[in-house]
Structure 1
């Protein structure tokens, strides 16, 4: 790709991407994406791929940046289909660029890292997010972007709020973007910002695994992949927050809308019967969580994320939940249906 310097930066970006992808506090499942600009070509993580696989697989897709930015400027719906801007002859695997390609293209810096950092999200769901972040990032050029659906709406929201010198974006109900001119500088900035935004989680008691197995019975439910996932059902404040609705897009995409909490005396079969459906996960107050047997690895990662995020939210904060319309547009969105399909196949 391009010059030797570009190739060296790409190698460094792959290595950093894999490290980010292995840290569940920075990103989960197929969430988050990284990019590098080489001339007018934007190399970005492919939709549905996992950052942790950046060294093991070819997960980067080349995109023609100028026509994509022109489409954003025109509010052309083509910008919501970034695969139309992929450079075919350099995309041997035929991968689709990330649904958030426009975010990366809009940032003028050469290297862009977008992460679903749990500390950032825990702030980004609070109605006082801007004031709290301003207190923590006083020495950094940053901008707050309220929630928009990822893709063209988010790109337009960012375009309206970008100012010269801004290299950090806090995305409402979504996550964090940091940008710099080298991979090393981007990593340093990421570590600095996430350090400043770090929050201590509330501690929760251990799950009652025996009770959960009994509640699963033969209803087709299992324990979550990560023991940390149980905390959202055990801690009363976390459970209250989770039961209020959906807090960020990837929760809706991988787990469905909101969270299902079992009522007194209900087992997994009774919950499924009450709902007329088998939810991806069920919260059993004071005991822990059960996952539907066929729930994907992405669903497991997002159930852990929910526990990690809610444990960090200020218990006195008022929360911004996604509206019914915002939930619906995520569920019925072609780009996300594609990503879910890849996720279900383990991609």
Structure 2
């Protein structure tokens, strides 16, 4: 199959997957296809959902990518004549290492809801039995993760990687095969969400009136603040990388008796940025007026993940060292900026 046809298939599959918020949120996730020595991979900061009407894939020399990785360099240059200012995904090394023609990496809500649990390994072993899969503990995205993936692939032929506190990676011969594999894993890991009561929209509008905050676009975000267990999880730490990058470590709470303007003034006086989102217990959540689409997508993801964690779950959070590495990573600053600048669909 010619390169144009391959990219067309990749675009169609990527857009379908990217429109499913249970699989991809905002600029999260990435996909790729190999054609000869070229690896076409999603560009950093772009959205899979845009794949059919925007040029989100960039070419990388597969040989150069693997050579850079062997030398401990995660900065993978684009192939000559690429003709774009975009950068390759920060996960390009992972795609280069996987031997499959097509690789798909998603931030599956169901996978994450299992992968943040301390007791998840036995459940994964039972639910994914029969698949060529491997569990990998959390490692910083990019080169640290790629090294662990490389070690795992050196031992076994693997089609499915479950990344602790991160997501899911699958490899297949075709785009249809990769999408089918994700669907198979999803069906095996599916978790029923807890129900919740509606947000108090009038109260939230009153609290945020005349401030730098507004209501989120997605009503399901409010469940993080309304459900006591979801709120406890969300305020106790960070669950996965994009949580940290777009929402900051943990999420702060605004008690109903607190004045939002006074809180903002105190934070400004202390030289602290105003939180991207605030949880108001029992009422719902509010977000900064300048919150990016990416940040709002991550708030939706957080709601979807936390409502799938059982009340008895022992949650494993990212460490402060993990959080610091993500917040001070130039690659993530670049991706966040592109996400903030994303144009209309």
Normalised to the residue count of structure 1, the TM-score between the two structures is: 0.94
| Aligned counterpart, 2:340 | 344
Contact 1:217 1:268 in 2 (8 A): no
Corresponding residue of 2:296: 300
Deviation string for 1:192-211 (max 9, x for gaps)?
11111110011110000000
Task: Give CA deviations for 1:179-225 in whole Å, capped at 9, x if unaligned.
Answer: 10111111111111111111001111000000001111211100001
Q: CA deviation at 1:31?
A: 0.5
Distance in 2 (CA, whole Å) between partners of 1:160 and 1:269 is 52
Matched, 1:233 2:230: no
2:105 partner SS: strand
Q: Kindly indicate whether the alpha-carbon contact (under 8 Å) linking 1:88 and 1:94 is maintained by their aligned counterparts in 2.
A: no
- Inter-CA distance 112–294: structure 2 relative to 1 (3 Å threshold): same
Residue deviations 1:324-343 (CA, integer Å, cap 9, x gap): 11111111111011111111
Alignment correspondent of 1:146: 137
Question: What is the aligned partner in structure 2 of residue 117 from structure 1?
Answer: 108
2-structure distance, mates of 1:272, 1:155: 41
Aligned to 1:160: 151
Q: Using the alignment, how far apart are the partners of 2:238 and 2:29 within structure 1?
A: 18
Q: Hey, what does 2:193 align to over in structure 1? A: 201
Map of 1:215 onto structure 2: 207
Structure 1 counterpart of 2:128? 137
Provide the residue aligned with 1:69 in structure 2. Answer: 66
> Is the CA contact 1:221–1:290 (under 8 Å) kept in the aligned structure 2?
yes
Task: Give the stretch that moved more between structures: 124-133 or 274-283.
Answer: 274-283
- 2:319 corresponds in structure 1 to 323
Contact 1:272-1:279 within 8 A present in 2 as well? no
The separation in 2 between residues aligned to 1:71 and 1:92, in whole angstroms, is 21
Measured after TM superposition, the shift of residue 274 of structure 1 is: 4.7
Give the direction of change, closer, same or farther, for the CA distance of 1:56–1:316 in structure 2 (3 Å limit). Answer: same
- Taking only aligned residues, the RMSD between alpha carbons, in angstroms, comes to 1.3
Task: State the distance in 1 between where 2:138 and 2:229 align.
Answer: 24
Q: Which moved more, 1:316-325 or 1:264-273?
A: 264-273
Q: Secondary structure at the match of 1:260?
A: coil
Equivalent residue runs for 1:1-347 within 5 Å? 3-4=1-2, 6-74=3-71, 76=72, 78-79=73-74, 81-82=75-76, 84=77, 86-89=78-81, 91-162=82-153, 163-276=155-268, 277-346=273-342
User: Secondary structure of the equivalent of 1:184?
Assistant: helix
In structure 2, C-alpha distance between the alignment counterparts of 1:53 and 1:164, rounded to whole Å: 34
Point out the more displaced range, 116-125 or 129-138: 129-138
Show structure 1 runs of 5+ residues with no match.
Answer: none
Give the count of matched residue pairs.
Answer: 338
Is 1:63–1:87's contact at 8 Å kept on the other side of the alignment?
yes
CA distances 1:213-269 after superposition (whole Å, capped 9, x unpaired): 111121110000100111010101100100111111001111111111113511432
Report Cα offsets for 1:93-133 as digits up to 9, x if no partner: 22100000011111100000000111111111111122111
Query: 2: distance between equivalents of 1:337 and 1:88?
Result: 25
Counterpart Cα distance in 2 of 1:267 and 1:245: 24
2-structure distance, mates of 1:257, 1:67: 35
Separation in 2, partners of 1:119, 1:269 = 37
TM-score by length of 2: 0.95
Pick which of 290-299 and 250-259 moved more. Answer: 250-259
